[in-house]
Chain A
């Protein structure tokens, strides 16, 4: 049974249509497998080979991978939630209630989005500290560390803007408390506060603004920086291995890298 399924799948992979999409072919040779990475617009960000040592759980705890995983969950659940949500007052709250009481599995979607958001913030922090303690920020990976810091801020902003959307007491006052901090900036404080909320108070304008940020601007920015982050792993010499590299290695001219 399993064998026949595998055969069907093999046949599918041999078909013209499949070949037109995936050009790497069906071989199991190193060449084929390298092509599978190189000829895919998304996968070509990664190197075709990875040091076997880096597959160990202890090396990375897979924290970067898992953070990206939560991001994917958030995009999927977020898009589904957008189908049921109006960013207006007080409809936003009624929509949240409808998700809970009327929409099939709506509550599950909202739960998953919420808990994944918390998980992502936790994982981003964990990833950052893991990278630091392994010393993986060292040259030539300085810039990728900076991108990581940017992604940390983007994650916090994504979570923070999403916090307001249910328009309940928790959301309203968390955003009020959080945004009031911005008012403390010398000279420009109130202007920044106004810019953030689209007014002096958390109201319908703030909700719309946070919605656009949460569903459009910040996810796009996050995709952009995640792309760079992944690509720079390859460009900076693959995943950092403590033992193989001397402590103060200087950046090497491009092209001398093996992979």
Chain B
């Protein structure tokens, strides 16, 4: 028996009495603590929101209906094929109640009307966030247990892009963003694999630099590298923010590395040099050739006028050497076999005049301050290192430098990139959209040694790009095929034989689409052989006129020879036919006048075609569709008939509405159309 033990023993007794009583007291405390857990459950957030919803609707006129629709407890939408359990409607109880249109407080606001039903797609597939969560914090924000927070409404179209892989009218911002990604060559450096297995291809067509010394001077390269926008406001090339020495060395390397191409420069004859350029004549060739369909020029007001397929020509005279320009105008394929520019068959005089006209477009300020000493071998070597480091060869073909593989981070799943893998700059929100926005706006702010160049996008473009990038999610990659709207397959279609060579030479695919390949500026020619008459086609190729007077961009005149025209026409008439019907199944002429008259009635009264089309230029004012004054000598009767019956069957997505015409109406209208030969007017227009 020692005293310290006694002491502790008595302390115990003082506190609890004997152990059994102590056990009773502590057990009571234990049970009370345990009871807190279910109590906590009772005061959960979602119960609070449901209670206050019921309080809110009590005073409303539609209380009975709302009360009947209300279901208490945790609500969930289970979408097994998407692997989603969305419990958002537990708190967002009134999202389907049309009568709650006046309620603006969340979580009781009703959902705006959208084409999809939430029962089919749930909430999270569009809004993201954590659908399974039943607390505000976990459901909406990025937490340790859930990376992906709600996507801000301004980028909501990105969620559409997970299923809608083709561009469509409902998502203009997404369409723009996707177009920018290819148009500004983002995908040269950043690989984007689309869920259908294809890779996003750039459409900016950067020029090859292997023979650049033929084309331009080192001074211009220097000025361009320092600030591409000083030369052309519409420059696709971004600013690499190079130091003067670096721009000097890169330009030295590019010139030293350049090899001459045979025949890609034509010395300007002294006579032509002496003769003062005739601006009038030059402008007229420029206009007649519809150069502006592809090339833009800045006007006096500083606005760009013209297309954006080719480079801006405002200061082209300060850039290119005249002897190169002349060779290029005569046949661009010598310098760059893959250029999108057509091979016009200009005669000597036209080429001379056009060269003079373009060479006069100079800007004396551009190269005024550029003075470069002759390059040293060290500078050239350093330039080569820089060209490799900055990945110039990702976009441009440069002889001796391989196109780098995976030069920049792949963006295939950027929309699901975990925040933990991102590095933020001070002062920005720690969210993925904010990261992408800032990465586009100020890529070099994220650290030293970064190579991504500075683009000059406006806020709308930045938002569009962010939307497009946010649509590249994990979910998009694993979306069940049944739920997706596939993109148009990318086609490598190549026409065969002599006609094929000719079509490449003329760069038809720069504007026209055939069998899925090509541009969207001019009509799709896939079924052209079924649609048009041979004679019209020959005439049109010889001397193209426009079918749509409202458009500025037109088919240029290529000065083709008769043999070339025959080759092209033969090919088009034979190959580009639809298997759906026989072109010659209906006669070109011989329709009875009563049938024609019946057609005229239908045209003007029943179907009111004149709201979009013109038959008589004096009365009709329709400019939406093509002019039909000479449709009878342009199109086949069978095509017109099929077109009238169902235009979308021949050209999906055409603006022409399907009027569900009866066979008889269609025949009568066809007869009326075929009577519109418009020969006299056609002749008048030609002159």
Contact = CB atoms under 8 A, between A and B. Distances in A.
Query: Is chain B found bound to chain A in the same assembly?
Result: yes
Interface of A: 52-53, 55-57, 90, 94, 97-98, 100-102, 104-105, 108, 168
A232 to B, nearest CB: 25
Given A52-B9, A53-B2, A101-B87, 13 more contacts: A55-B9, A56-B8, A57-B8, A90-B83, A94-B85, A94-B132, A97-B133, A97-B145, A101-B134, A101-B138, A105-B37, A105-B38, A168-B145
Given A105-B38, A168-B145, A98 B132 contact: yes
Interface size class of B (residues with CB under 8 A): 10 to 19
Nearest to A57: B8
A98 B76 CA distance: 12
Contacts of B134: 101-102
B507 to A, nearest CB: 52
Nearest to B146: A97
A108 B37 contact: yes
B503 to A, nearest CB: 52
B5 interface: yes
B5 A101 contact: no
Contact of B5 (A56, A94, A102, A168): A56
Contacts of B37: 105, 108
Contacts of B40: 105, 108
Contacts, number: 37
Given A52-B5, A53-B5, A168-B145, A105 B41 contact: yes
B135 A101 contact: yes
A90 B132 CA distance: 14
Contact of A101 (B8, B38, B133): B133
B552 interface: no
A90 B38 CA distance: 28
Interface of B: 2, 4-5, 8-9, 37-38, 40-41, 74, 83, 85, 87, 132-135, 138, 145
Contacts of B9: 52, 55
A-B residue pairs, 7 tightest by C-beta: A108-B37, A101-B134, A105-B37, A97-B132, A104-B41, A105-B41, A101-B133
B18 to A, nearest CB: 11
14 contacts: A52-B5, A52-B9, A55-B9, A56-B5, A57-B8, A90-B83, A94-B132, A98-B132, A100-B133, A100-B138, A101-B87, A102-B74, A102-B134, A105-B38
Nearest to A105: B37
Contacts of B4: 56
Contacts of B85: 94
A219 B132 CA distance: 32
Find the residue from A56, A90, A100, A102 having the highest chain B CB count within 10 A.
A102
B501 to A, nearest CB: 55
Nearest to B133: A101
Contacts of A57: 8
Contacts of A90: 83
A204 B38 CA distance: 33
A104 B38 contact: yes
Contact of B132 (A52, A101, A104, A168): A101
A100 B8 CA distance: 44
B539 to A, nearest CB: 66
A191 to B, nearest CB: 34
A57 B5 CA distance: 10
Contacts of B8: 56-57
A55 B8 CA distance: 9
A126 to B, nearest CB: 21
B43 to A, nearest CB: 12
